[in-house]
Amino acid sequence: MTMKKQRFKLIAQLWRRSLLLATALLALNLRAQADGGLVALHQVAGPFNVTVFTAPVPLRAGPVDISVLVQDRASGQPVLDGEVLVRLQREGGMILVGRATREVAQNKLLYATLMTLPEAGRWELEVTIKQRKETVNVLGQVSAGPPSPFLLSYWRSLSLPPVVIGLFALKEWLKRRAARRGKTKVYRFTSIRPSPPSSPR
């Protein structure tokens, strides 16, 4: 296999790996925003204090993270053995339902669910909390703006493969340049080497 073919194969492998890394970064981007964001709702309901967070900030149509903090009203301690259901209803009848769990949440004191808002506008928010014999509902509203343009939202991740390929190409060019310079220096040194003096007759 020639050097050119080897270089092309290496660049192709690097490109594939960079695309996989960019895909992973896109997935992590949403998780990095999870378990926090804006306080969308805070209410006292029965024996619980309930706080609902939404991300991204500002909230937009598309993938969203909804996290719920449930605290015991008397002690303020997080309630970790409950069941939490999140319900969103759009004006006009569209309903989204998601079960929030601590397994999904990065912060294990919260219950989280990932949902997809199909359109911008005002959504009615209802959160149901169950713990043993207690069941409470809290109600509120959230407003979602239009979705961000894809390229604008993820330009950092999408720009990674070209940057990696460019750095690799620059490294290869510098190596070839250094090799050419080394050959030139050896040639010049040997070309100006003086010939030994001739013996007198």
Residues 13, 56, single domain; the answer is: no
What strand order describes the sheet that includes 48-55?
38-45, 48-55, 62-72, 111-117
Percent of residues, the chain, with pLDDT higher than 70: 61
Residues 180, 120, single domain; the answer is: no
Checking if the pLDDT of 34 tops 50, the result is no
Residues 125, 54, single domain; the answer is: yes
Number of helices followed by number of strands (H, E) in the chain: 4, 8
Domain of residue 42: give its range: 35-147
Residues 21, 41, single domain; the answer is: no
Q: What is the total count of domains within the chain?
A: 2
Where is mean pLDDT largest: 81-90, 141-150, 174-183, 188-197?
Answer: 81-90
Give residue for tokens 């669910």.
Answer: 113
What confidence category does residue 152 fall into, taking pLDDT thresholds of 50, 70 and 90? very low
Query: What are the b/e assignments for 156-171, b being 16+ CB within 10 Å?
Result: ebbeebeebeeebeee
Output the pTM of the full model.
0.59
The DSSP result for 76-125, as a single string, is: -PBP-S-EEEEEEEETTS-EEEEEEBTTT-SSTTSEEEEEEE-S-EEEEE
Any domain includes 154:
no
How confident is the model at residue 151, as a pLDDT?
A: 45
Residues 102, 180, single domain; the answer is: no
In single-letter form, the type of residue at position 1 comes to M
Strand partners, 129: 84, 136
Q: What is the CATH number of the domain that holds 134?
A: 2.60.40.1930
